[in-house]
Amino acid sequence: MYIVTGGAGFIGSAMIWKLNQMGIDDILVVDNLASTDKWKNLVNLRYTDYLHRDHFLEMVSGEDDPFGTEGIVHMGACSSTTEKNADFLMENNTRYTQVLCQFALTHGARFLNASSAATYGGGEFGFSDDHAGIARLKPLNMYGYSKQLFDLWAMRAGVLDQIACIKFFNVFGPNEYHKGDMKSVICKAHRQIKEEGRMRLFRSYRAQYPDGGQMRDFVYIKDCVDILWWLLEHPEAGGIINVGTGIARTWNDLANAVFAAMGKKPSIEYIDMPEIIRDKYQYLTRAEMGKLRGLGYTTPFMSLEDAVKDYVTGYLAKEDPYLDSRGI
């Protein structure tokens, strides 16, 4: 059995879709559905069972493996970069991951864990996934710090090379609809453009970056799950691994791609950045992708324009993106 935590969430549900594509449906979904719309992400998928995250934690805290676990794709976490409850993040993101990692290693199961590019902070030390630089990173928010703490724990425990900690950059694509303010700008922009004929981007507060010229390494969810599947199939590929495209593009590039996919002329309004994030804002992210390529992953990434077009026309343009779309 494969276990996907956060299985009803964005990357988790997309990973179940990928496993289904590969003919696998003996899957345990672990999540906290509560009263959210995340359940809709599961409707088009095939899996064996569902467990609440707290019940699952109890079951993996013992000595036995009640699941016959082949691999664990641990995408479950609080991913809000504005979450202020540090105790919650320590328990939910850091300690939970430690327990699950120990369970996987004890029972010989492949363990993939979602780290984050948020661990790189302001980028003052670059974006290299070389282990030698882990300890000096200074995340700008508590979410990034909770992910950094697990990476450091795994390194101190001597298990980092036995698992894969994936540092996702700016992921976008189908099944992020439930994420509220944490949805990608593409998802938000599609609605803005549809309703108002324009979209909004933050102004820049650094002279070297024009408004909308802040840069991100945008990576499509379908590329991400292809990499996760490859990592499941290659247990020798371990350590911290960046997942981006290795190319930084501006928010203006992104906006223009959305307008093009919708067949509309660009109309962008630049607005003030909220003060709560102004001092912690990343102006540039760009994944160094040499490690993944060196490990043997050779599949090219979709271009930003092609990925945005696929997302907009294949999913966001549907009346109900959850249920009316193909695939994911």
**Residues tagged active-site:** 143, 179
* Residues 287/247, Cβ–Cβ less than 8 Å: no
Q: How far apart are CA 97 and CA 149, in angstroms?
A: 10
Paired with 250 in beta bridges are 215
**Cα–Cα dist 46/24, whole Å:** 8
Give the Cα separation of 264 and 208 in Å (integer). 29
Q: In sequence order, what are the residues at sequence separation of 6 or more whose Cβ sits closer than 8 angstroms to the Cβ of residue 164? A: 111, 112, 113, 231, 237, 238, 239, 241
Residue 44's Cβ-count burial label (10 Å; 0-12, 13-18, 19+) is middle
State both tokens at 103.
Answer: 């369970």
Measured distance CA(86)–CA(103) in Å, rounded: 25
Nearest C-alpha neighbor of 304 from the set 185, 209, 211: 185
C-alpha pair distances (Å), 27 with each of 43, 45, 85, 103: 14, 10, 32, 17
CA–CA separation, 84 and 152 (whole Å): 21
